[in-house]
Amino acid sequence: MSELPSAAGSPRRSDGEATHAAILKAAMQLASVEGLGSLTIGRLARELGISKSGVFAHFRSKQRLQQETIAAAEAIFTHEVVEPALAAPEGRARVEALCASYLSYVERGVFPGGCFFAQLLAEFDGPSGGIHDQVVIGQRGWMGLVKELIATAQHRGELDADIEADQLAFELYAHLELANYLSTLYRDTSLLDRGRRAVASTLTAASPRGMRASEEPSA
């Protein structure tokens, strides 16, 4: 993702970078709980105890604020979820690591409202416009990554090559998202363990027959 220039079109002064980062941090926290549409210049100014003009100088518009908030959340998601998974060995282990790091990111409360992008998807799946389009691009990228890791595991013989990668990616994502939604709704992180068990069961069922037999518990 390319770095966004400052709202004025010139590099931000170093003495304003800390303020800019603080505004985006507050914006991400609020958006994860109340939705991206709730973000306003005035609300963030009150949250941080600074002037509205001070916040406005950093973003110039609500749309710009929303776009930068999404970009900042993407960087955190990449650091917390994607990078740890890609450090795992290639193949099924990397698929497992991606699911595990996602559930860990929710469990550790990286965003107070659960997964930032689950909230974003629920908020902008219906409305048309630039933010909807940005959400679609991000969602396709995430599902594309899951599918790519599954395809690699299939190529290595660690997942059944006859299973449709798109379908398996869909099922794994469904487990992750429901675990996120319910654990956030009920304020009960133990529900994330149901997500972990569902992922493990789905991957066991997707294993080649010989591997599957060795993974299933004995009677």
Residue 108 domain-assigned (yes or no): yes
| Per-residue exposure over 84-97, b if at least 16 CB sit within 10 Å of its own CB, e if not | bbeebeebbebbbb
At residue 139 the predicted structure's pLDDT band, cuts being 50, 70 and 90, is very high
Residue 148 domain-assigned (yes or no): yes
The C-alpha angle with vertex 165 and arms to 162 and 166, in degrees rounded to 5, equals: 135
- Rounded to whole angstroms, the Cα distance separating 20 from 184 reads 28
- Rounded to whole angstroms, the Cα distance separating 209 from 212 reads 5
Number of domains in the chain: 1
Residue 62 domain-assigned (yes or no): no
Residue 5 confidence (pLDDT) above 70: no
- Average of pLDDT values for 118-139? 94
Contact (Cβ atoms closer than 8 angstroms) between residue 105 and residue 80:
yes
- Within 8 A by CB and 6+ apart from 71, the residues are 1, 4
Residue 213 confidence (pLDDT) above 90: no
Residue 38 domain-assigned (yes or no): no
- Rounded to whole angstroms, the Cα distance separating 75 from 168 reads 26
The C-alpha angle with vertex 109 and arms to 105 and 110, in degrees rounded to 5, equals: 65
Contact (Cβ atoms closer than 8 angstroms) between residue 52 and residue 96:
no
Residue 87 domain-assigned (yes or no): yes
When mean pLDDT is compared across 5-14, 30-39, 205-214, the lowest value belongs to 5-14
Output the domain CATH number for residue 98: 1.10.357.10
Domain assignment of residue 114, given as a range = 70-215
Residue 121 domain-assigned (yes or no): yes
Distance of CA 190 to the CA centre of its chain: 20
Residue 2 confidence (pLDDT) above 50: no
The conformational region for residue 60 under phi > 0 = left, psi -120 to 50 = alpha, else beta, is: left
Residue 85 domain-assigned (yes or no): yes
At residue 209 the predicted structure's pLDDT band, cuts being 50, 70 and 90, is confident
| Tens-digit pLDDT profile for residues 63-103 | 899 999 999 999 999 999 999 999 999 999 999 999 999 99
Residue 12 domain-assigned (yes or no): no
pLDDT of residue 1: 37
